[in-house]
Copies of this chain bind each other. A is one copy, B any other.
Amino acid sequence: MRFPWQQKQIVPTETSHNLTEELTRQGYRMTPQRMMIVDAIEHTENHISAEDIFRQVVAKYPNVNVSTVYRTLELLEKLGLVTKTEMGVGHIVYHPLEKGHHHHLICRECGNVVDLDESVLAPLKESLQQNYQFTADLRHLGIMGLCAECKQKSQNKTANG
């Protein structure tokens, strides 16, 4: 198999971030593929989808395979470096935890998203630990529901219909 960076001597930039450091520290190899994937994750403001990562990476190096993207994301998630969250039906995004811990309230009707500090989930997390000895993974939730406006509308519809 012939890899493009062997022919072209192009090396991805930005190799000294936390994700990279943590991967190498734990004995994983920082391959060019992983560098580019990590780069894409760290250059996003907040969330990024697997497809977006793949598009960015494949734009530079067409040979990189989509399964490598998924495998790397799975590894980063296993190591607790990124979270995987469903933000609305079928819309899965990844979030690097070094960019802050928080949650999202997602309206099922209008799609509006409100951010939520992680402290709001702290009582639940504590309660599950105390009463069930269960360490819940509540780091980046997408909580579905109805915003005030859409709830109002749906109640009107029921009353009038």
Binding site for B on A (CB under 8 A): 105, 107-108, 114, 116, 120-121, 123-124, 127-128, 131-138, 143-148, 151
Contacts A114-B132, A132-B114, A145-B128 known; A108 to B120 CB distance under 8 Å?
Answer: no
CB atoms of B128 and A136 under 8 A apart: no
Q: Which residues of B contact A120 (CB under 8 A)?
A: 124, 127-128, 131
Residue in B105, B128, B133, B151 whose beta carbon sits within 8 Å of that of A128 in the complex: B105
Contacts A120-B127, A123-B123, A124-B121 known; A143 to B138 CB distance under 8 Å?
Answer: yes
Q: Give 29 CB contacts A-B under 8 Å.
A: A105-B128, A107-B134, A108-B137, A116-B132, A120-B124, A120-B127, A120-B131, A121-B124, A123-B123, A123-B124, A128-B143, A128-B145, A133-B147, A133-B148, A134-B143, A134-B145, A134-B146, A134-B147, A134-B148, A135-B145, A135-B146, A135-B147, A135-B151, A136-B143, A136-B144, A137-B145, A137-B146, A138-B143, A138-B145
Quickly give the copy total for this chain: 2
Residue in B114, B123, B136, B144 whose beta carbon sits within 8 Å of that of A105 in the complex: B136
Report the Cα distance A114→B135, complex, angstroms: 12
Q: Which residues of B contact A144 (CB under 8 A)?
A: 136-137
Nearest residue, chain B, Cβ from A143 = B136
Q: 20 more A-B contacts (CB under 8 A) besides A120-B131, A137-B143, A137-B145? A: A107-B134, A114-B132, A116-B132, A120-B124, A120-B128, A121-B124, A123-B123, A123-B127, A124-B124, A128-B143, A133-B147, A133-B148, A134-B145, A134-B146, A134-B147, A135-B148, A136-B144, A136-B145, A137-B146, A138-B143
